[in-house]
Amino acid sequence: MVSEILSNDEIIKMARRNVSQGAWDYMVGASESETAMRRNRQAFDEVAFRPRVLIDVSHVDPSTTFLGQKMRIPVMLAPIGHMQSFTPGGAAIPTVAATEFGTIHVISSTTEPSIEDIAAAADGPKVFQLYVQGDWEWTKEIVGRAMDAGHVALCLTVDTARYSRRERPMLRGWVPPSRGRSVDPYWRASVTWEIMARIKGLSRGLPFMVKGIATPEDAVMAVEHGVDVIWVSNHGGRQLDHGIGTMDMLMEILEAVDGRAEVVLDGGVQRGSDVVKAVALGAKAVAIGRLQAWGLGTAGTAGVVRVLEILEEEMLVAMGLVGVTSIDQLSPAYLRPAKAVTHPHEMSSWVNMPIDRIT
């Protein structure tokens, strides 16, 4: 039973058995040499805890509030394209999981089923993530549909001006479903700060997020354009290769933003302790992509819920042993730089796990 899964390492191994090779390569791979993806993980490994002891941690609360929504833990489900490749029902499945667990699902504009069908799948809070794939009339129409469907915020992804070379699926000849359709790449490549501001104007006063910020300079530009949430991301290492890990970006972006917008982060999150580290540095929340997809590939809704439950269990342990009882008590004082323990694979959190439980 899914409830008996003890580790997200088991989730990955189960998903591997269920997901087709082409979809698996798309799920786990990144661009070119996959250096940026590996640096995402290493950046977490290079942050160590400074635990405090003899504190009453008999009751620990890992919940938070974000976008006006109560979250059981500060972990969103990131937007993932082509979810129908991982599970029947596509993005409607993690929407149900997010509602069941108590968190926010950020829904990709390049996945199935329709905006309206995904929104109707569950009552929990949902954010619509936009790729600009058409002219202004196309943009107004799709954002209008998302707003009519009851999303609580609008998110624009800005790090896909060119589609990257993701060699794992390329070598298999696997093409994501939306890539097989005729979409003029001009539209994504031509998005500017001015166009972003026009898109923000379509959000009907709801919070507006920009996903794909990787420098303090762009974070400042976003704040100056009235962006409510800066989403620190390198697309999980799937776009520009050879960037630094997102945790390595986080502090200087937080300093540049200086409290004028909230900041969230994705890239390399594998453990509840990773969530604690990011929040301690100053992130409001993190988002999971590959972990979510692995959960989907394992057991659909139940698989994603179990991924989140395991992250929550790990957070409770980390928070208690660090010496805090609530998210708002976390701060950089509980962290320090450390030398990473390197491994030969990006799944460094799990490479030493026994596999005999599920083989």
Residues classed as catalytic:
235
**Short-list 108, 66, 65, 71, CA closest to 229:** 66
Contact 65, 331 (CB under 8 A): no
Distance CA 82, CA 26 (A): 10
The pairing of strands 47-49 and 126-130 is unpaired
Which helix (DSSP H) or strand (DSSP E) does residue 23 occupy? helix 21-28
Residue at 58: amino acid letter: S
Beta-carbon count within 10 A of 155 CB: 27
Contact 197, 1 (CB under 8 A): no
Location of structure tokens 């997200």? 8
Coil, helix or strand at residue 151: coil
Query: What does the chain come to in residues?
Result: 359
The three-point CA angle 232-236-238 to 5° equals: 120
Distance CA 178, CA 224 (A): 33
